[in-house]
């Protein structure tokens, strides 16, 4: 009999620390905007892509909506020191890669948002470096669809499996590999073109 998962609604806290020797930590302890811009400007294209992927792993979202739009979002609370990252990152991504993002205010946070063609270009850039299982899975599916490797119907069926439902099967453990196998490059190619209409940003809850 296959093992089953038990879902418990209980808050938990997880803490950790990294023990580094003196001089091993590459970032200033109190980072200001000028220092951050200098550090990011000094990154290679690959290093900058890795940095962006790390932000999306920790504070980002990747999703597709039923208006046929793709979105990539990086969030920061309004009062957090890391809020300054959003504006600096927006400008550096535009300058380095020609990918345009916009910052939108929410109730308690601000978000750096990329959508439609800009989102797809950003996903191609960060694809090798994203480690979050659900976000990586959605990236693979979105790019497989935009590259014509799966049809719209196939994409929607596979994408549906990336949505969480409390008490249901855990997509990260149980469905991710199966979904990726079915979306792999050996899938037959469709000749249809991808018409990417530019929509405004979605309403974000």
Judge if 107 and 143 occupy the same domain: no
Assess if residue 1 is contained within a domain.
no
Q: Please state, for a pLDDT cut of 90, what percent of the chain lies above it.
A: 51
**Single residue among 130, 153, 179 that ends a domain in this structure:** 130
- In the three-class reduction of DSSP (H, G, I as helix; E, B as strand; rest coil), residue 68 is classed as coil
Report d(CA 64, CA 156) in Å as an integer: 9
Contact 69, 112 (CB under 8 A): no
Model pLDDT, residue 156: 92
Q: Are residues 48 and 111 in the same domain?
A: yes
For residue 169, being part of any structural domain is answered with yes
**CA 75, 80, 43, 72: dihedral to nearest 10 degrees?**
0
pLDDT at 176 over 70: no
119, 146: one domain: no
**117 shares its domain with 66:** yes
For 119, the domain range is 32-130
106 and 70 in a single domain? The answer is yes
Number of domains in the chain: 2
Q: Is residue 199 one of the residues assigned to a domain?
A: no
**Does residue 197 have a pLDDT over 50?**
no
**57-92 pLDDT tens trace:** 999 999 998 788 999 999 998 888 788 899 999 999
CA–chain centroid gap for 120, Å, is 11
Q: Do 67 and 84 share a structural domain?
A: yes
| 82 and 144 fall within a common domain | no
Does 141 lie in the same domain as 70? no
Distance CA 104, CA 46 (A): 27
Give residue 173's Cα distance to chain centre.
19
Asked whether the beta carbons of 133 and 61 are under 8 A apart, the reply is: no
Structure-model confidence comparison of residues 36 and 102, the more confident one? 102
Task: Give me the chain's average pLDDT, please.
Answer: 80
Could you tell me if 73 and 140 lie in one domain? no
CB of 56 within 8 A of CB of 128? no
The label of the residue with tokens 């480690």 reads 131
204 inside domain = no
Alpha-carbon gap, residue 61 to 191, rounded angstroms: 29
From 99, 130, 161, the end of a domain falls on 130
- 170 domain-assigned: yes
Residue 1 confidence (pLDDT)? 58
CATH number at 111 reads 3.10.28.10
Query: pTM for the complete prediction?
Result: 0.72
CA distance 155 to 151: 6
| Last residue in a domain, options 79, 100, 130 | 130
Residues 6 or more apart whose CB falls under 8 angstroms from that of 186 comprise: none
37 shares its domain with 94: yes
Where b means 16+ CB within 10 Å and e means fewer, 55-83 reads bbeebbbbbbeeeebbbbbbbbeeeeeee
The more confident residue out of 168 and 13 is 13
The closest alpha carbon to 52, from 139, 103, 116, 126, belongs to 126
Residue 189 has pLDDT above 50, yes or no: no
Which two tokens mark 80? 């957090």
Indicate if 74 and 115 belong to the same structural domain: yes
Half-sphere exposure of 74 (CA within 13 A, CB side): 26
């Amino acid at each position: 009999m296959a093992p089953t998962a038990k879902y418990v609604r209980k808050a938990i806290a997880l803490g950790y620390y990294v023990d580094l020797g003196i001089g091993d930590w590459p970032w200033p302890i109190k980072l200001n905007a000028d220092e951050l811009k200098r550090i990011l400007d000094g990154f290679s294209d690959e290093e900058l892509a890795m940095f962006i992927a790390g932000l999306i792993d920790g504070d980002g979202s990747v999703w597709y909506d039923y208006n046929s739009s793709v979105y990539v979002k990086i969030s920061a609370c309004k009062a957090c020191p890391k809020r300054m990252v959003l504006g600096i990152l927006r400008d550096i991504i535009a300058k380095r890669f020609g990918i345009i993002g916009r910052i939108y205010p929410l109730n308690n946070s601000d978000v750096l948002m990329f959508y439609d063609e800009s989102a797809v270009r950003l996903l191609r850039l960060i694809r090798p470096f994203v480690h979050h299982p659900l976000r990586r899975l959605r990236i693979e599916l979105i790019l497989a669809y935009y590259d014509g490797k799966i049809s719209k119907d196939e994409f929607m069926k596979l994408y549906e499996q990336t949505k969480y439902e409390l008490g249901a099967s855990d997509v990260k453990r149980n469905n991710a590999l199966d979904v990726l196998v079915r979306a792999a490059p050996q899938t037959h190619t469709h000749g249809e073109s991808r018409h990417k209409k530019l929509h405004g940003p979605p309403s974000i809850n």
